[in-house]
Structure 1
């Protein structure tokens, strides 16, 4: 992925991983558009930064995504990089019948959202120089967290979808997967201060160093996530699943 001179759209750019990467990409010499639901968070993210822009987006609505894509192209016709970062993570208990509203919302935001937004922008991106799509998944795409089963499943699905998208767009749009480990953000309650999770700034700095490699890796994997990414290949999947499950029971 080209390091500077891009016009980058990043969803979920008002906080957490999205905001941290948006700032670093802007510092590298890119125009950055942050998108999300909360206008106040987006405005705070772009404050004092020329060539950073905020646009609200309801990632759960198919109609809103289509209208948003048209508005982005009209306002920023040079947009050539899409980073699908917006996501939610909800704890759930699979052991008994329950209200599925959290699970359904997770699927809509984490899976349908990036598929719909990519679909709305793909023809435009194919016409741009140095076009790229970055799909943010998770280490939990490779070893699920039982307590967040639907979240893990959506990230596994986006991992698979990214592989297909990369092949379909070969030669026209670079397709990259970014799989974070557990990072100190506000994705779940208390996560920002949770011991053992990677500090956000450390994670973002490591990601930027990997983006700077030539060629950019198809999978951008910081060191902390390789424990999960490589579990099956290293014949320790069951042990890793048990360890992850036990760890989260203690921290929660």
Structure 2
């Protein structure tokens, strides 16, 4: 895929992987449209990258996606790439009865339903382009049940399965389907966690995005670093061991939370 002079829509583009995508895609000569829920964050992104275009939008809300489609395709009919990056990740104890149904569903609504709805809304437009692409951001956690963040884990597993199905259905079209699969990445996603991930297990965000862009330019369906290949192999070879290893973090988090209540 060519990036120079392409018009790219990035959801959740005001921080972390999204903001780094803005930076590196701008360097590639792409025209960038950024969406996000936080108006101040959108303004800060615009200050850092004056040439980008911003829209306040919540991908968990179907009506806002419909409005986004109308606004973007009217103002930028040349749009040919969408990157579904918007996401939230929370540490959740599934025995916590204080979480209402809307709360417990919020990660599904943003990470999984938001991705599916964005694709469904924009696909007819992308099919009219000579060269187009959809990039869905999943996670290494899609290949293992991560008990500390169970809803996020389920949502990203769903994104992975959906992206594979989407790629098959669009195989005879001009729309290429990519899956960006980051491992743990050093972003603000974990800012509020009571237990911070080990820095040695986390990848620098610029390196992750660099890997993704190189893979995209080479038309590699899965945009992933070597660490993800290791995780996928381990999930097939020793799945129980991998899950138990991840579950140790949940136990540590619970211990810290119980200690803080005493």
Pairwise same-fold verdict (TM > 0.5): yes
Q: RMSD across aligned C-alpha pairs, in angstroms?
A: 2.0
Number of residue pairs aligned between Structure 1 and Structure 2: 249
Q: What secondary structure sits across from 1:135 in the alignment?
A: strand
Whole-angstrom CA distance in 2 between matches of 1:94 and 1:49: 40
Whole-angstrom CA distance in 2 between matches of 1:250 and 1:202: 29
Q: What secondary structure sits across from 2:131 in the alignment?
A: coil
In the other structure, the counterpart of 1:110 is 111
Higher helix share: 2
Whole-angstrom CA distance in 2 between matches of 1:249 and 1:16: 27
In the other structure, the counterpart of 2:13 is 13
Structure-to-structure mapping, 1:1-252, within 5 angstroms: 1-47=1-47, 49=49, 51-95=51-95, 97-99=97-99, 100-170=101-171, 171-189=173-191, 194-196=198-200, 197-212=202-217, 214=218, 216-233=219-236, 235-247=237-249, 249-250=251-252
Whole-angstrom CA distance in 2 between matches of 1:232 and 1:209: 26
Given that residues 182 and 198 in structure 1 are in contact (C-alpha distance below 8 angstroms), is that contact kept between their aligned partners in structure 2? yes
Where in structure 1 do 4 or more consecutive aligned residues deviate above 4 Å? Answer: 95-98, 190-194, 247-252
Given that residues 134 and 175 in structure 2 are in contact (C-alpha distance below 8 angstroms), is that contact kept between their aligned partners in structure 1? yes
Whole-angstrom CA distance in 2 between matches of 1:116 and 1:74: 19
Given that residues 184 and 194 in structure 1 are in contact (C-alpha distance below 8 angstroms), is that contact kept between their aligned partners in structure 2? no
Highest Rg: 1 or 2? 2
Given that residues 215 and 222 in structure 2 are in contact (C-alpha distance below 8 angstroms), is that contact kept between their aligned partners in structure 1? no
In the other structure, the counterpart of 2:260 is none
Whole-angstrom CA distance in 2 between matches of 1:217 and 1:74: 31
Q: TM-score, normalised by structure 1?
A: 0.91
1:249 Cα shift? Answer: 4.5
Given that residues 198 and 224 in structure 1 are in contact (C-alpha distance below 8 angstroms), is that contact kept between their aligned partners in structure 2? no
Given that residues 39 and 56 in structure 1 are in contact (C-alpha distance below 8 angstroms), is that contact kept between their aligned partners in structure 2? yes
Q: What secondary structure sits across from 1:133 in the alignment?
A: strand
Whole-angstrom CA distance in 2 between matches of 1:155 and 1:48: 30
Q: TM-score, normalised by structure 2?
A: 0.88
Given that residues 133 and 176 in structure 2 are in contact (C-alpha distance below 8 angstroms), is that contact kept between their aligned partners in structure 1? yes
Q: What secondary structure sits across from 1:231 in the alignment?
A: helix
Given that residues 143 and 231 in structure 1 are in contact (C-alpha distance below 8 angstroms), is that contact kept between their aligned partners in structure 2? no
Identify if the C-alpha distance between structure 1 residues 246 and 174 changes in structure 2 by more than 3 Å, giving closer, same or farther.
Answer: same
